[in-house]
Structure 1
Amino acid sequence: MCGRFAQSQTREEYLVYLAEEAERDIAYDPEPIGRYNVAPGTKVLLLSERDEQLHLDPVLWGYAPGWRGKPPLINARVETAATSRMFKPLWLHGRAIAFADGWFEWKTEGGKKQPYFIHRIDGQPLFMAAIGSTPFERGDEAEGFLIVTTAADKGLVDIHERRPLVLSPKAAREWMRQDVGGKEAERIVEDGAVSAEHFTWYTVSHAVGSAKNQDSELIKPVSF
């Protein structure tokens, strides 16, 4: 699954992988985002396409349609999202990208939960597939977005059975296109998902367990 991640670099450091400046309607901001411990229930910078240009909007991480009457969900399984009653409209019309430096996962070791930070070996940003309730630009506290997850494979299974669906930059750009239908989006996922051998991980401080902590030390390796 994905319950915490880091989104700390400048907007440009993520966007440069996805589109030329003419393809974006996003104001330049040289300041790092600086969020080392992004948690559900907070607004997250979410990338999506409108009028054939990329837009960046603060969107609530969590989805709780009024008819459901239950706490918000934060993840959607890629295996069922395209066809389920709850997620199919989002899959068709609310595809987006949450960019990140890496995500956190907890594994029980010696009776205690040990946090790990998982990131790309080559240091490139992660472009995590997301779906949500549009329009994203409304900026209110209505239904937000979810991160799409997939089954963990290879070594990542040792950390957790699920992981965020990370797309290559090319696939991420195609995933967001408004003229892409649901079936084509499924093909993009199959062809453009980043596989497990591109990731590495290490233990980090238990301080990441509190969403109040946002220091850069949270993504640095520690030994126990």
Structure 2
Amino acid sequence: MCGRFAQAQTREEYLTYLADEAERDIPYDPEPIGRYNVAPGTKVLLLSERNEALHLDPVFWGYAPGWWDKPPLINARVETAATSRMFKNLWQHGRAIVFADGWYEWKKQGDKKQPYFIHRSDGQPVFMAAIGSAPFERGDDAEGFLIVTGAADKGLIDIHDRRPLVLSPEAAREWMRQDTDGKEAGEIAADGAVASDKFTWHPVTRAVGNIKNQGPELIEPVT
């Protein structure tokens, strides 16, 4: 699954992998985002395409349509999202990308859970596939977005059996295109996913368990 991640660099450091300035309708901002502990239930910078240009909007992480009487969901399984009653329309018309530096998972060790930070070995940003209730500029606090997850494999399964669907920059751009249909999106999810062997991970401080903690020390390795 994906329940926490870091989104700390400047917008430009993420966007440069996806599109040149002519393809964006996003004001330049040199300030780092600086969020090392992004949690569900908060607004997150979400990238999507409108009118053939990329837009960046603060969108609520969580999805709870009016008929849903439970807490908001934060993840959607790639295996079923395209056909499920709850997510089919989002898959067709509300695809987006969450850019990040990496994400956190917790692994039980003895009677405690040890958090790990997972990121690309080559230092590139992580582009996580997302679906949500478009248009995202509405800022709706109930029907926001979810991060799409897939089954973990290889070494990643030792940390958790689910992982966010991380796309290559090229696949991420195609995923967001408004003229990409649901079937094509499924093909992008299958063919454009970044393989597990492209990631590395290390244990981090348990302070990441408190969402009030936001400093860069959260992603540093601990013994």
Secondary structure of the equivalent of 2:76?
strand
* 1:164-205 Cα distance to aligned partner (Å, 9 max, x none): 000000000000000000000001111100010000000000
Structure 2 partner of 1:190: 190
Letter in 2 for 1:199: F
CA displacement 1:140-163 (0-9 Å, x = unmatched): 323100000000010000000000
TM-score (normalizing by structure 1): 0.99
Alignment-mate amino acid for residue 93 of structure 2: H
Q: Match of 1:62?
A: 62
CA distance in 2, matches of 1:140, 1:27: 22
| One-letter code aligned to 1:182 | G
Aligned-partner SS, 2:79: helix
2:26 aligned partner, one-letter code: I
Give yes or no for the alignment of 1:95 onto 2:95: yes
In structure 1, runs of 5+ residues without a counterpart are none
**AA at the equivalent of 1:195:** A
Q: Within the alignment, does 1:217 sit opposite 2:217 as a pair?
A: yes
How far 1:135 sits from its partner (Å)? Answer: 1.1
TM-score, L = length of structure 2: 0.99
* CA deviation vs aligned residue, 1:63-92 (integer Å, no higher than 9, x gap): 001111111000000000000000000000
| One-letter code aligned to 1:38 | V
Amino acid of the residue matched to residue 75 of structure 1?
N
In structure 1, what is the equivalent of residue 129 of structure 2?
129
Amino acid at match of 1:76: A
Matches within 5 A, 1:38-49: 38-49=38-49
* Alpha-carbon distance between aligned partners in 2 of 1:205 and 1:218, rounded to the nearest angstrom: 6
Cα distance in structure 2, aligned partners of 1:45 and 1:68: 24
SS in 2 for 1:81: coil
What is the CA–CA distance in structure 2 between the aligned matches of 1:31 and 1:42, rounded to whole Å? 20
The one-letter amino acid paired with 2:130 is A
Distance of 2:69 and 2:51 partners within structure 1: 33
Distance 1:32 1:97 in 2: 18
Q: Deviations over 1:19-75 (max 9, x none)?
A: 010000000000000000000000000000000000000000000011111110000
Shift of 1:130: 0.1
| Distance in structure 2 (CA, Å) of the matches to 1:68 and 1:6 | 29
Q: Distance in 2 between matches of 1:139 and 1:77?
A: 24
- In the aligned structure 2, how far is the partner of 1:127 from the partner of 1:81? 18
What is the alpha-carbon distance in structure 1 between the residues aligned to residue 4 and residue 205 of structure 2? 14
Amino acid at match of 1:3: G
CA RMSD of aligned residues (A): 0.5
SS in 1 for 2:191: helix
Structure 1 residue 36 corresponds to structure 2 residue 36: yes
3-state SS in 2 of match to 1:37 = strand
Separation of aligned partners in 1, 2:218 and 2:141: 28
The alpha carbon displacement at 1:110 in A equals: 1.5
Question: For residues 97-112 of structure 1, what are the structure 2 equivalents within 5 Å?
Answer: 97-112=97-112
Moved more, 141-150 or 118-127: 141-150
User: What CA distance in whole angstroms lies between the structure 2 residues aligned with 1:179 and 1:215?
Assistant: 39
| 1:74 lines up with 2:74 in the alignment | yes
Question: Matched residues in 2 for 1:7 and 1:15: separation?
Answer: 13
Which AA in structure 1 matches 2:204? V
The aligned residue for residue 164 of structure 2 is 164
